[in-house]
Amino acid sequence: MVDSTWAPGDWLTLTTAAGTMVLAIAAIWQGCITRRQIKANEQQLKISARQATSGEKSASAAVDVHRESIRARVDQFAPRVVAFFEKPEGPYWNTAQTGIPYANDNRLLDRQATETPRNKSHEFVFPQDSGTFLWFRGRGALINEGETSARVRLETQWRFIEGVNFITGEFTPLPHLTDNSINSEAILPPGAAALFEWADGHTVGEWADAYSNPEPPRPGGDIWLWITVFDPRGVGVIDTIEARFAPEVISPVSSRVGHWMVNDSSHFGPVYALPITREYVNEGANTENLKHMRQHFRAYEEKLASEGENEDRS
């Protein structure tokens, strides 16, 4: 016969166990509720993030639409100057010339700057001739197709000229020059045309390096031409006309080590005008920014500066 009599301690143990079980069940239930709440909160955060992103995109789109609307109104009355280039002449050189002239030197466009007429059979010998400067001269024509007069600024070695326009075949007079220019800055009314001449180049060493390393970037073998066009209105535009001339000026003489010969004009090619870069004054464009150098040109200058520092250390 089984004794079913419970002692007082047994009841206490049973009660404690039951209470513990209830607490455990409650904890599990609370945990489930908490996990569901966490998931709900995470879902709400994702929804809020998507809404915020959508709001940012909408705001950004609205800003873009407003900016383009302002640009369209500015463009409607802005000058639009286009450039055309003749095939350049050269190369020219002067054994005493090692770069762009200083203020008191003869400019590259001055005829007395050239020591020797262009001679196809001329050879340069390394290393003594590597610093000799070889440059080209060329003519260009500008036409203002816009609705507003433009202030046009050329590079320092360039100048406006008068003569027969190679585009129209008509005589084009000298444009109205600004007070602070030496034939390098002029006012071009709507529909007006102007002629200019330019000159630029590189040293024999740079031309030779460009021949040996033909893949871009090759700034030592390219001549970059910049023309800056200013809108006379205070909230107008600033256009940069950029063109590239990439001649193969010299090539090595196979029978003589260190000798380089000037190529004939079939190796020079034309000047290629690139799309105009337009900036807006109301968006922070600098009214005195003369040129927008491409990244490879800046990298080339940094390379030269680094080489100069290394030479100084040695």
Q: Residue 245 contacts by C-beta under 8 Å, 6 or more apart in sequence?
A: 88, 136, 138, 222, 223, 224, 225, 268, 269, 270, 271, 272
Percent share of the chain, pLDDT over 70: 62
Asked whether the beta carbons of 153 and 227 are under 8 A apart, the reply is yes
Give me the helices (H) in the chain, please.
Answer: 8-76, 204-212, 295-313
Predicted confidence band of residue 171 (pLDDT cuts 50, 70, 90): very high
Q: Out of 33-37, 123-127, 220-224, which region has the weakest mean confidence (pLDDT)?
A: 33-37
Predicted confidence band of residue 265 (pLDDT cuts 50, 70, 90): confident
SS (H, E, C) 193-255: EEEEEEEEEEEHHHHHHHHHCCCCCCHHHCEEEEEEEECCCCCCEEEEEEEEECCCCEEECCC
Nearest to 289 by CA among 300, 280, 298: 280
pLDDT value at residue 295: 47
**Once rounded to an integer, what is the mean pLDDT over residues 103-116?**
61
- In this prediction the pTM is 0.69
Cα–Cα distance measured from residue 99 to residue 67, given in angstroms and rounded to the nearest whole number: 43
